[in-house]
């Protein structure tokens, strides 16, 4: 039984700041929300953890500007709230981003939100990646 608890792995979202502080989220989907630094409009990205990797499933935004995907292979629709939603479903590398109070970078999961701009220093970098841990550590939340 103990061997089973050690050999079985559980994937989780690991957020690491440049100061070394780590946040762990045990959920198979999450969203990142921020305010675009140029357009001053909200931007949302939705991700899933699949087979130990990050998949960007959709992007939602109100205005077209820097950073908007221009590839026609994405399916888009205009939502009732005025956001353009792109369905993407692509594997992504770990996410490297800068956190600041100006853009209010936030991670959403279940009904929770993790305000990265309140946890990490203004204008500091964070890496968001998939990590795994033995089932026993997951159960004990170590």
Share of the chain above pLDDT 90, in %: 61
Distance of CA 16 to the CA centre of its chain: 12
- Distance from the first to the final alpha carbon of the chain: 19
| Integer Cα distance of 140 and 134 in angstroms | 10
Contacts (Cβ under 8 Å, ≥6 apart) of 80:
none
Global pTM? 0.86
- Per-residue pLDDT tens over the stretch 73-117: 666 777 788 788 888 899 999 999 999 999 999 999 999 999 999
- Per-residue pLDDT tens over the stretch 45-67: 999 999 999 999 998 887 765 56
């Amino acid at each position: 039984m103990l061997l089973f608890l050690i050999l079985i792995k559980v994937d989780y979202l690991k957020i690491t700041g440049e100061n070394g502080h780590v946040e762990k989220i045990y959920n198979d989907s999450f969203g990142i929300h921020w305010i675009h630094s140029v357009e001053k409009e909200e931007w949302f990205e939705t991700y899933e953890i699949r087979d130990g990797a990050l998949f960007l499933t959709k992007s939602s935004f109100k205005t077209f500007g820097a950073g908007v995907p221009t590839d026609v292979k994405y399916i888009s629709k205009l939502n009732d709230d005025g956001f353009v939603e792109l369905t993407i479903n692509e594997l992504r590398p770990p996410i490297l981003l800068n956190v600041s109070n100006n853009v209010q970078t936030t991670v959403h999961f279940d009904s929770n939100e993790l305000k990265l701009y309140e946890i990490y220093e203004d204008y500091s970098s964070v890496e968001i990646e998939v990590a795994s841990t033995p089932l026993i550590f997951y159960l004990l939340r170590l």
